[in-house]
Amino acid sequence: MAPAHPAILAAIARANDGYERSYGGDAATVRVEHRFAEIFERDVRVFLVGTGGAANGLAISQLTPPWGMVIAHEASHIQVDECGGAEFFSHGAKVLPVAGDAGKLSPDSLRHALGGFDAQSVHAPQAKAVSIAQATECGTVYTPAELQALCAFARARGLSVHMDGARFANAVAALSCAPADISWRASVDALSFGATKNGCLIAEAVVFFDPARAENFAYRRKRAGQLFSKSRYLAAQFEAYFEDGLWLRLARGANAMATRLSTGLGAISHVRLEYPQQANEVFVALPAGMAERLRAAGAEFLSWVMPGDPAEGRLIRLVCSWATSAEEIDQFVELVRRG
Amino acid sequence: MAPAHPAILAAIARANDGYERSYGGDAATVRVEHRFAEIFERDVRVFLVGTGGAANGLAISQLTPPWGMVIAHEASHIQVDECGGAEFFSHGAKVLPVAGDAGKLSPDSLRHALGGFDAQSVHAPQAKAVSIAQATECGTVYTPAELQALCAFARARGLSVHMDGARFANAVAALSCAPADISWRASVDALSFGATKNGCLIAEAVVFFDPARAENFAYRRKRAGQLFSKSRYLAAQFEAYFEDGLWLRLARGANAMATRLSTGLGAISHVRLEYPQQANEVFVALPAGMAERLRAAGAEFLSWVMPGDPAEGRLIRLVCSWATSAEEIDQFVELVRRG
Amino acid sequence: MAPAHPAILAAIARANDGYERSYGGDAATVRVEHRFAEIFERDVRVFLVGTGGAANGLAISQLTPPWGMVIAHEASHIQVDECGGAEFFSHGAKVLPVAGDAGKLSPDSLRHALGGFDAQSVHAPQAKAVSIAQATECGTVYTPAELQALCAFARARGLSVHMDGARFANAVAALSCAPADISWRASVDALSFGATKNGCLIAEAVVFFDPARAENFAYRRKRAGQLFSKSRYLAAQFEAYFEDGLWLRLARGANAMATRLSTGLGAISHVRLEYPQQANEVFVALPAGMAERLRAAGAEFLSWVMPGDPAEGRLIRLVCSWATSAEEIDQFVELVRRG
Amino acid sequence: MAPAHPAILAAIARANDGYERSYGGDAATVRVEHRFAEIFERDVRVFLVGTGGAANGLAISQLTPPWGMVIAHEASHIQVDECGGAEFFSHGAKVLPVAGDAGKLSPDSLRHALGGFDAQSVHAPQAKAVSIAQATECGTVYTPAELQALCAFARARGLSVHMDGARFANAVAALSCAPADISWRASVDALSFGATKNGCLIAEAVVFFDPARAENFAYRRKRAGQLFSKSRYLAAQFEAYFEDGLWLRLARGANAMATRLSTGLGAISHVRLEYPQQANEVFVALPAGMAERLRAAGAEFLSWVMPGDPAEGRLIRLVCSWATSAEEIDQFVELVRRG
């Protein structure tokens, strides 16, 4: 809901100069691929797309055949928030939802989930991939060590790993790690790299860390209506996003606001923080009637539904963006404090 | 694994006389639809198909759009045993697996499962159908009252109900009820009616209890390669199957053998019956090493995998058919008794 | 390849002010739907999407079931230029390519094409829709009368009509007609309304003229990753595009440049105009070797492939945009004149 | 419409003896694969399925990705008679219909068809396979030399070759060649081997001549509901079909009857044979009103629709089976002679 960062808009305006090759043949799109390679410290294949849902669905379709199965958290975006997009793009691969603390999967949860399927049997959907979110849908992050353990388990079972990085910048900022540490160095195969939620207008990408995994992906993207004729405008956003570390500055700012919010709310006895705040989101269980009062006072937020409904319908999600100010946070905390 | 019943084979031989219309235009196929109508005590639309997997997948594709979601037990055939067929036939509808005692779903389990999805949101897969098995994958049966409660809940939420009746005859026999009592009278919309497992060679059907629900289904069946040119041979099997109640006689026999088996095994302290025996299947947890000894002694059975693996890999499934004899049962029980 | 019009960019910058509802709930997106209603002189349902390929595929998926068939010109974008997108979005509906003069279909060509299919038979793909382009892939336009005749034939056969309007503005400008005259007044059901090729950055829409035809379309769009979280930036482009008739001014300019080009080239004996120039494209067959010489001199254009290859590999496509200047045209004509 | 041959029925009855492994693990299914290997003089991978439509759709899905294109005759079964099954099984690959004399494709017709697509472009559907029928839908056959030329052209363009062999036995009988001569020796990759139309009840197979081409095909078959639990009854039919050359005896008989019919009709001046009779089908254009008179006299046949309708709605198809007698032929010819 936040506006785009002025530097991103300025870059779009600069890009609007004269003729350029269409459909990704433009100079900016080529430069962006190099820029991603620098940021991830290795050659990568990058495909710009329009939405995070498309990035996830297309990436997953590349990692599993239609008769395959992809394991995901039961609260993951691909399970509950993309209207079945993973099944759509993958031509009906099965998504197996799995429970896990605070939005995270673990080797144990994978082992347990796979236990219900006989991998040797032609009757069973064939497990082919795991899809995880970083940061997760619960606002938590996997540490590099957690990711390595998870991916090692996946690898041993022959599963590829997809990462939904709609909030990847927030995870990098939260962990103060290299982007590589929570992607290919931990054995992630494909990353949905989101920039829209962190200051861009429309800027998403699918990143493959092994060029062989990207084979034929260009056809999938085109066929799905995700190859943009004026690709230069997507590319320009990424160029500005990476310029001088803007992306991490914005993410750190959003994370810091979430910490301020979490700290403030944590000191209030009549609300309960549902998950540890680690990135730019805070989940709070409110007492009955408070959501209505907060909204009446002008606050805007989403009521949040989780599988199993741990907070009996009283969970809300609070998201901080690059544009969130300390004043807004303090105002909101004060509203909650008053009840 | 059992052979077909001689009466079924004889019917095929009788059908093989002279020319007949192809692709379901034959007299026998027309008669079979009337026969189904008598058995279910109402007009029905019947579509013969070749396998239970096709019956399930096609029926489900009729009850949910591609962006819909169908809820099923986590151990259901459509979830673990059809290599993603429900997703294939439905063009990627989401299958939501749900836990439930002894293979059964309940209104509570549905309510809990739906709680993770915001039905008002365009982002959420839209719940459109429930698929249940009768008898279930755990060899249990829903009573008419249980079915009515489940379907009433489904109806109230706008969900259609599909029943996987691969063992429908065993359920009718077990409950001594009318076929209608556990199908349309309980608000089931579409039934996969299986006959292959109960004495036929290749004989499955999709039954719709409201003709309007069958609209365009003929195209789906044809397109999926499930319209047989020599439909008369499928029809002949069903005619013999229904003749003089053969189908229920065979099912009662199989159920009785399962009861004999269950009773015998239940008296042996070193094995554990996993689910109540209600139809023609018995699930037993064996002590370590016993499966191997039984197989060495000539017994054949499937090791059984269940989500969550309640028996730590020592569950086996024993299926009785119309051809199972009391001697075979007693021999097996004796083998188990000896350990 | 042309840049966006400054007014479009300015509108995006203006939209970037403060918080807004996401996923199309913003004020601008709501306003745009009203704007479309004014322009088409009736209530419409409008869905913003990211690319013309997505608009076409999604619109077609709404007009035909998976077992249906959509008839299109053999050189249409959906047949040769979208990597099978129509089949992808429609879950495998059949696209039937049909020949036709200068990119246009006629009642006769439809009648001829349908003649190969037995509509009464469950074996035959069921013809459900016609997809036409306005302006066409050959740079020609259907007159309102031609459209009415075509759509009347379609209607009589039970076919819906989709219009690929990637160059809709150019067609309206060429015909000096009301947008309604070449859409719903002629019985078109769904329109892919393109703005990207006529001065916008990323701005496409699917327009339904009967709200009932749009039922459930929101799920299709979401599922396909075409619902943009920051919809306001798409909406802003459309607002500017329609402001004070900008869209038609730009289209008239591009058309005029194409006329200038066509007139210039038409006077040169060693090249041949392949199709009548009616919108903003000119197709010319060059003598051997000339394409190379023109490119060496700095000209940029696409070699054009048509089914049947009428010009033996020497056809080129020349597209004029809102940004094309008379000087550029005259320079190019002079280059061609010199050979 | 003809009954099954008694030897086929007897084999089914013989197969119905005692317990057998299900889902293709039975001894008969294993033996059948060896039998196919003998008949084709090389190792093959064989997958039994239930219908010709499923065989075609599944085989094609193995030879093209969803973004690919398969070229077929405009009157081919996959284009006009399977309700879009090729698109269904292949997840929306494009079927490109191509004209050709008497149901046959040629290198020239392929070259012409491919001319409309820019293979280098990510926008174009990618041509991946050719599908031909042997015998064709017009009752003609490709000679081994014609097949070699066609497949060589396909190979050079990177296209795989699928053969719809619903009438493969008739083609082998007509050509007096080895089955290998019109399949793998001519570079065919996958064959839909039909037996249902030539004396079996339900017996179709997909044959791959290179085991590598069959990779993962077992999952596709299972997922599509085409893996039969009682596979032994399909296998038994094939065993009897191949026993002592029964399959070719039956096909030669049917072909001979078609020749008798064609000769008889060819001598009647008021009807016109539409295509050369080479296998077991005869296509005749009747004078106005004659079809009705023949039907009134008890004859049964299909009115035949061809793209372009060469006979102005007066074409009929006459099919001879193993069960057709000379008397039936002579009776029919006499009826036609009388007008």
**pLDDT score of C25:** 79
Q: A23, D223: Cβ pair inside 8 Å?
A: no
Please tell me the distance in Å from B220's CA to the nearest CA on chain C: 7
Find the range with the poorest average confidence among A315-324, C219-228, D1-10, D310-319: D310-319
Confidence tier at D339 by pLDDT (50, 70, 90): confident
Mutate to test the interface with D, among B230, B300, B324 (most CBs of D within 10 A): B230
Minimum CA–CA partner of A51 in chain C: C225
Q: B16, D9: Cβ pair inside 8 Å?
A: yes
Q: Which residues of A touch D91 (CB under 8 A)?
A: 66, 91-92
Q: What is the pLDDT of residues B64-109, one digit of tens each?
A: 999 999 999 999 999 999 999 999 999 999 999 999 999 999 999 9
Q: D67, A126: Cβ pair inside 8 Å?
A: no
Q: C87, D96: Cβ pair inside 8 Å?
A: no
Please tell me the distance in Å from C84's CA to the nearest CA on chain D: 6
Nearest to B91 among C66, C216, C222 (CB): C66
A interface with D, Cβ–Cβ < 8 A, is 23, 65-67, 91-92, 122-123, 126, 216, 218-220, 222-223, 227
Chain pair B-D, CB pairs under 8 angstroms: 143
DSSP secondary structure letter of residue C18: S
**pLDDT score of B307:** 84
Q: Which residues of C touch B122 (CB under 8 A)?
A: 23, 218-219, 222, 227
Average pLDDT taken over every residue of chain D: 95
Q: Which residues of B touch D233 (CB under 8 A)?
A: 4, 201-202
SS (H, E, C) chain D: CCCCCHHHHHHHHHHCCCCCCCCCCCHHHHHHHHHHHHHHCCCCEEEEECCHHHHHHHHHHHHCCCCEEEEEECCCHHHHCCCCHHHHHCCCCEEEEECCHHHCCCHHHHHHHHCCCCCCCCCCCEEEEEEEECCCCCCCCCCHHHHHHHHHHHHHCCCEEEEEECCHHHHHHHHCCCHHHHCHHHCCCEEEEECHHHCCCCCEEEEECCHHHHCCHHHHHHHCCCCCCCHHHHHHHHHHHHHHHHHHHHHHHHHHHHHHHHHHHHCCCCCEECCCCCCCEEEEECCCCHHHHHHHCCCCCEECCCCCCCCCCCEEEEECCCCCCHHHHHHHHHHHHHC
Mutate to test the interface with D, among A45, A64, A90, A222 (most CBs of D within 10 A): A222
D interface with A, Cβ–Cβ < 8 A, is 23, 65-67, 91-92, 122-123, 126, 216, 218-220, 222-223, 227
Could you tell me which residues come within 8 angstroms of residue D316 by beta carbon, excluding any fewer than 6 positions away? Answer: D283, D284, D285, D286, D291, D301, D302, D303, D304
Confidence tier at C2 by pLDDT (50, 70, 90): confident
d(CA C96, CA A157): 44
Beta carbons within 10 angstroms of residue B25's beta carbon:
12
d(CA B66, CA B58): 12
Nearest to C201 among A85, A233, A323 (CB): A233
Q: What is the pLDDT of residues D164-193, one digit of tens each?
A: 999 999 999 999 999 999 999 999 999 999
Mutate to test the interface with A, among B51, B71, B83, B98 (most CBs of A within 10 A): B83
Q: Which residues of C touch A201 (CB under 8 A)?
A: 12, 16, 230, 233
Q: Which residues of B touch C66 (CB under 8 A)?
A: 91, 223
Mutate to test the interface with C, among D70, D73, D83, D315 (most CBs of C within 10 A): D83
Please tell me the distance in Å from C54's CA to the nearest CA on chain A: 4
pLDDT value at B310 more than 70: no
Q: B91, A94: Cβ pair inside 8 Å?
A: no
| Percent of all residues in chain D with a pLDDT value above 90, rounded to a whole number | 86
Nearest to B227 among C92, C122, C219 (CB): C122
| All partners of chain B with 3 or more CB pairs under 8 angstroms | A, C, D
A interface with B, Cβ–Cβ < 8 A, is 66-69, 74-75, 79-84, 87-88, 90-97, 112-113, 115-118, 122-126, 305-309
| Torsion sign (Cα): D97, D102, D108, D112 | negative
Mean pLDDT computed over C179-187: 98
Nearest to A196 among C17, C82, C230 (CB): C230
Confidence tier at B260 by pLDDT (50, 70, 90): very high
**pLDDT score of D151:** 98
Confidence tier at C329 by pLDDT (50, 70, 90): very high
| Torsion sign (Cα): D170, D171, D174, D177 | negative
Minimum CA–CA partner of B57 in chain A: A92
C-alpha of A311 from chain center: 24
Q: Which residues of D touch A222 (CB under 8 A)?
A: 67, 122-123
Q: Do the Cβ atoms of B146 and B113 come closer than 8 Å? A: no
Q: A92, B87: Cβ pair inside 8 Å?
A: yes
**pLDDT score of B24:** 77
Nearest to B115 among A91, A94, A305 (CB): A305
pLDDT value at D309 more than 80: no
Q: C122, B219: Cβ pair inside 8 Å?
A: yes
d(CA C323, CA C198): 9
pLDDT along chain A (339 residues), means of 10: 90 84 82 96 97 98 98 97 98 97 96 91 96 98 98 98 98 98 98 97 97 97 95 94 98 98 97 96 94 91 81 88 95 94
**pLDDT score of A51:** 97
Q: B222, C66: Cβ pair inside 8 Å?
A: no
**pLDDT score of C171:** 98
Q: What is the pLDDT of residues B179-220, one digit of tens each?
A: 999 999 999 999 999 999 999 999 999 999 999 999 999 999
Q: C54, A219: Cβ pair inside 8 Å?
A: no
Please tell me the distance in Å from A133's CA to the nearest CA on chain C: 17
Minimum CA–CA partner of B98 in chain A: A97
Q: C201, A1: Cβ pair inside 8 Å?
A: no
Find the range with the poorest average confidence among B14-23, C143-152, C297-306: B14-23
Please indicate, yes or no, whether the overall pTM of this predicted structure exceeds 0.95: yes
pLDDT value at C310 more than 70: no
Mean pLDDT computed over C56-62: 98
**pLDDT score of D310:** 65
Q: What is the pLDDT of residues B133-180, one digit of tens each?
A: 999 999 999 999 999 999 999 999 999 999 999 999 999 999 999 999
Minimum CA–CA partner of C3 in chain A: A16
Please tell me the distance in Å from C286's CA to the nearest CA on chain B: 46
DSSP secondary structure letter of residue B124: S
Q: What is the pLDDT of residues C200-217, one digit of tens each?
A: 999 999 999 999 999 999
d(CA C167, CA C186): 18
Between residues A313 and C177, which one has the greater pLDDT?
C177
Instruction: For residue B327, list its beta bridge partners.
Output: none
Please tell me the distance in Å from A93's CA to the nearest CA on chain C: 14
Q: Which residues of C touch A49 (CB under 8 A)?
A: 225
**pLDDT score of A151:** 98
Please tell me the distance in Å from D108's CA to the nearest CA on chain B: 31
**pLDDT score of A310:** 65
d(CA C58, CA C78): 11
Show the tokens assigned to C204: 């496409």
Element housing C281 (H / E)? strand C281-285
Minimum CA–CA partner of B51 in chain D: D225
d(CA A135, CA A126): 27
Chain pair C-D, CB pairs under 8 angstroms: 105
Could you tell me which residues come within 8 angstroms of residue C296 by beta carbon, excluding any fewer than 6 positions away? Answer: none
Q: Which residues of B touch C47 (CB under 8 A)?
A: none
Q: Which residues of C touch B64 (CB under 8 A)?
A: none
Q: D87, C74: Cβ pair inside 8 Å?
A: no
